[in-house]
Structure 1
């Protein structure tokens, strides 16, 4: 792989356990009751999906959750791409129980480090990196793209189905996530010397008038970057590596909270979610909304090479 949250505190944990089965069978509420507070990264995690196959058999790179229609979208390097530098990706649509509902192929887009989804009527529009360029044996996007999910469709970087966005001139390694509680787009990018997070109103991006609400540096020394999500004023950064001789169980997977207003690192905690998985590489984050309450989700890849599987866990407790 990659180189690279007003609700009672304890009550949310109980709520998360009580609605898990319902959330797996029906679409979640579209918006949170409010985007106040931040997630307690030391709270326990609960499984949403466990060791599910995706459309292709490679490692899940990231995922996002459509809270209106009740779907999960994952992205991974496409089977048979030959080299990660090609930037060819497979997008899989899943139910909330992990059943495959469809797929798309994205040719030359990048590495899929993080993606977002924008529900619109009966449709879902994905937000991804695009116009990937080779970077140290991988591919990294240089712009953002919005496109409608159409099952079975293959898109290239020149497809008319894409709407492309350049939010910061000269930025590279561009990826994005969407905060469903605020309808904001969060873009992570490289400015030539450091990675940063810029926050925009999604409506302003789409209208062609993107003015950043915040723009802060990513904290240094976090480890191998693996994805991010945002809820209200805070971003959550996932880092770590797959299990191995130099990284035995329970591994070095950490989640860090970042105040998007000030750039201050607020909390950092190791995650042992899914610690029994083999391989276990952290991959991607997302926000799920269930009955108005938010969940901070993180992804994990497992399984053998050529038969990788995806698991997703979530935290519910806010402080």
Structure 2
């Protein structure tokens, strides 16, 4: 074979090899986009027993915790809740009822140490429902990521974009406060809530667009620089009463369920979703905290006990307990991580999915 023919054969073999490799890659579900290199990680083993981090801890207000975030650098927990009724803040003509606080999207933010002791608080007026928050430590300063620009729908206020602000003990912020930096990642979206993966510095925003919930995943540094190109965007699978989310590497975790006060049996589930394909990888009934009174699942976050080993992370989730007007906070954690294929190789009982949607 002459030199030209040899080169032609090499090019053909290279092309065939490329086509073969392409055929081996997973095919994303409709409506899914992802940048695989940014989304590689192990997956939490959801049927693993959870450990208790804090139990029955008081927050600044006595309402149900809505969600939380963990500052792994400064060892702080930030918990957000609807503001309790009967409070009168500076500039308000009179005390405001709890129903109006909910309608207006007014939130209380409590700073805790890792044992669950209160260290400080803030009030956030006109922000939203507090379904999920994130935190970004910068030295000793913690920047909170939350929804903002609340719009009333039904009896509650819900955020329409996301914001970043520094925690400042005792501060009262409104949706128009200059301390906020706002980000509208997707035009026309509402019900915007946010979480930050501390292991990868990926920001995940849950949003509703054209009546459907989705999750967009972004590099945190890109968002702050004004680049809103996602590395992944997947639809939300069918879930029951939605209560929070967190992402870790290539997987998204969704919390759902209602309290013992509204159902007689445990219906708390965690669902794992592959951010590269949108595929539901696992769904498990969660038995942690079954001795709690009331026990309503609320919020998720990633905890990294040792920052030198971000691959040894914990998937944490919360429960509200006790009774009005002194609801209490409880956090639990799952810390076993395995490759997804190893989990699929185990014998697991995939629980039946509830039919109720948000």
RMSD between aligned residues: 1.1
Corresponding residue to 2:105 among 84, 87, 104:
87
Aligned mate of 1:282, from 270, 280, 297: 297
Q: Is the 8 A contact 1:110 1:132 kept in 2?
A: yes
Q: Which residue among 252, 255, 261 is the counterpart of 1:235?
A: 252
> Which has a greater percent of strand?
1
Structure with greater contact order relative to length (CA < 8 Å, sep ≥ 6) = 1
User: What are the superposed Cα offsets for residues 178-208 of structure 1, whole Å, 9 maximum, x if unpaired?
Assistant: 0011101000000122100000000000001
* 2:178 is the alignment partner of 1:160: yes
Partner Cα separation in structure 2 for residue 91 and residue 311 of structure 1: 16
How far does residue 35 in structure 1 lie from its aligned partner after superposition? 6.5
The SS at the match of 2:42 is: coil
Q: Offset of 1:82 from its aligned partner?
A: 2.6
CA distance, structure 1, for counterparts of residue 305 and residue 148 of structure 2: 31
> In the alignment, is residue 186 of structure 1 matched against residue 204 of structure 2?
yes
Counterpart of 2:155 in structure 1 is 137
Matched, 1:50 2:55: yes
Shift of 1:209: 1.1
Q: d(CA) in 2 for partners of 1:82 and 1:268? A: 35
Aligned residues: 283
The whole-number CA distance in structure 1 between the counterparts of 2:146 and 2:128 is 9
Deviations 1:146-173 (A, max 9, x none): 0000000000011000000000000000
Aligned pairs (5 A) from 1:1-319:
36-80=41-85, 81-83=97-99, 84-220=102-238, 222-244=239-261, 247-249=263-265, 251-291=266-306, 292=309, 293-319=312-338
The 8 Å contact of residues 321 and 329 in structure 2, kept in 1 or not, is answered as yes
- Distance (Å, rounded) in 2 between the aligned partners of 1:135 and 1:238: 22
- TM-score, normalised to structure 2, is 0.78
What is the DSSP-based 3-state SS (H/G/I as helix, E as strand, rest coil) of the residue aligned with 2:205?
strand
Secondary structure of 1:204's counterpart equals: helix
Structure 2 stretches lacking a partner, 5+ long:
1-38, 86-96, 339-358
Structure 2 distance, partners of 1:238, 1:111, is 16
Q: Provide the secondary structure at the position in 1 that maps to 2:223.
A: helix
Aligned to 1:29: none
1:101-131 deviation digits (Å, cap 9, x = unpaired): 0000000100000000000011000000000
Asked whether the 8 Å contact 1:134–1:140 carries over to 2, the reply is yes
Q: Is the 8 A contact 2:300 2:316 kept in 1?
A: yes
Moved over 3 A (4+): none
Q: For structure 1, list consecutive stretches of 5 or more residues without a partner in the other structure.
A: 1-33
Contact 2:103 2:152 in 1 (8 A): yes
Q: 1:117 and 1:281 mapped to 2: Cα distance? A: 23
**2:30 paired residue number:** none
**Distance in 2 between the 1:236 and 1:82 partners?**
30
Q: 2:83·2:98 contact (CA, 8 Å) conserved in 1?
A: no
1:237·1:255 contact (CA, 8 Å) conserved in 2?
Answer: yes
Q: Give SS of 2:130's match.
A: coil
Largest Rg, 1 or 2? 2
The whole-number CA distance in structure 2 between the counterparts of 1:39 and 1:82 is 37
